[in-house]
Amino acid sequence: MKSVIVNSNEAGQRLDKLLGKYLNLAGKGFLYKMMRKKNITLNGKKCDGSEKLSEGDEIRLFLSDETIEKFSQVRVQKVRKTKLDLVYEDSHILLINKPSGMLSQKAKDTDESLVEYVIAYLMETGQLTVEQLRSFHPSVCNRLDRNTSGLVAAGKSLAGLQMLSALFQDRSLHKDYLCAVEGIMDHSRTIDGYLLKNEKTNQVSITKKQVPDSVPILTRYEPLGQASGCTLLKVRLITGRTHQIRAHLASIGHPLAGDYKYGREELNARMKKQFGIHSQMLHSWKMEFPAMEEPFAYLSGRTFIAPVPDTFRRVFGDMENYLGGEA
């Protein structure tokens, strides 16, 4: 017999959902059969899987160790040792300054991404065990393109994951980006349009009018200064779509410097030769939390900033001239 005590990361979900994670190689039919035969009980009583779990509940598995091992598999991917640039950490969330070149999430099974590095960090620091990974996986809640740097939010606990996911979904957590675009831009604007994604090529196109399968987009930008034929922009996404900043600004004649998918070949060649720029100059710079209720009231109104990469300094010089103390 094995006893499982429901912890805070497992509470709030149905029993059958948790059993499906814990015995992840077992079919649903097997789990329901074991509950009917009282080989799986909840708090010493017969259960049917629909019960909502509370912290401290006891699940008893009257199964052999061999059966549990057969139906339970925890895979912890070995990854290269990577030091995370932590901007903020508490018991529920992490805010990480992701470098350009790192995947936010896997594109294929053999990839290493920020998710795997977060799990490795939590295990190395004693905040996560293999046993806990049976039923809960920390993860990131927003994605940045591989070559976009800056703030990524990750949930260390189920409550943290749910809170962050809700904020990103209702767009109440404000995100500001910095980018370098071709040409001189003098005025702040909010631009709209429609974005259509080609799933095969992972490329998007922008149209003025709605076309089938397109989604509306809104992008707000503010020029902060100019250098080397480029403008430094602060950008806030009103909507958050794949490649929105890169494609939207390119569609109005101001592609990002170093963007080899939506940018201009001549500009990219010049920026590479003159400043050593090899990828798009786009940085997820700032996150502002809205008013929050308990247990996250301590985050209310707080602002977090990811230091600006050196590539921006190469082009624009001292970033304090543009950002003040927030550089």
Mean pLDDT of 9-20: 93
For residues 14 and 51, what is the distance between their CA atoms, to the nearest angstrom? 5
- Residue 322 vs residues 98, 172, 185, 224: alpha-carbon distances, Å: 22, 26, 15, 6
Q: Is 42 helix (H, G, I), strand (E, B) or coil?
A: strand
pLDDT confidence of residue 4: 93
Task: Tell me the per-residue pLDDT of 299-315, one tens digit each, with 9 for 90 and over.
Answer: 999 999 999 999 999 99
Mean pLDDT of 221-237: 96
Of the candidates 127, 143, 136, the residue with the CA atom closest to the CA atom of residue 244: 143
Length of the chain, in residues: 327
pLDDT confidence of residue 57: 96
pLDDT confidence of residue 203: 93
At residue 72 the predicted structure's pLDDT band, cuts being 50, 70 and 90, is: confident
pLDDT confidence of residue 76: 83
pLDDT confidence of residue 54: 95
Q: What is the dihedral of CA 183, 186, 192, 195, to 10 degrees?
A: 20
Judge if 86-170 and 174-326 fold alike in CATH terms. Answer: yes
At residue 325 the predicted structure's pLDDT band, cuts being 50, 70 and 90, is: confident
Which class in CATH covers the domain with range 86-170?
A: alpha beta
User: Count of alpha carbons within 13 Å of 291, Cβ hemisphere only?
Assistant: 0
Task: Tell me the per-residue pLDDT of 125-175, one tens digit each, with 9 for 90 and over.
Answer: 999 998 889 889 999 999 999 999 999 999 999 999 999 999 999 999 999
**DSSP-assigned beta bridge partners for residue 179:** 233, 282
Contact residues for 85 (Cβ-Cβ < 8 A; gap 6+): 96, 97, 98, 99, 306
Helix (H) or strand (E) holding 59: strand 58-61
Mean pLDDT of the chain: 94
User: Count of alpha carbons within 13 Å of 320, Cβ hemisphere only?
Assistant: 1
Written as one string, the DSSP assignment of 238-277 is: SS--TTHHHHHHHHTT-PBTT-TTTS-HHHHHHHHHHH--
For the chain, counts of helices (H) and of strands (E): 9, 14
pLDDT confidence of residue 180: 98
- Residue 93 vs residues 85, 134, 237, 244: alpha-carbon distances, Å: 14, 20, 22, 26
If phi over 0 gives left and psi between -120 and 50 gives alpha, with beta otherwise, what is residue 155?
beta
Contact between 102 and 114 under an 8 Å Cβ cutoff? The reply is yes
174-326 folds as Pseudouridine synthase (3.30.2350)
2-71 maps to CATH 3.20.20.70: no
pLDDT confidence of residue 240: 87
Task: Give me the sign of the Cα torsion angle 323, 308, 319, 234.
Answer: negative
Tokens 């009231």, located at residue: 297
Token digits of residue 124: 């190395």
Domain ranges of the chain: 2-71, 86-170, 174-326
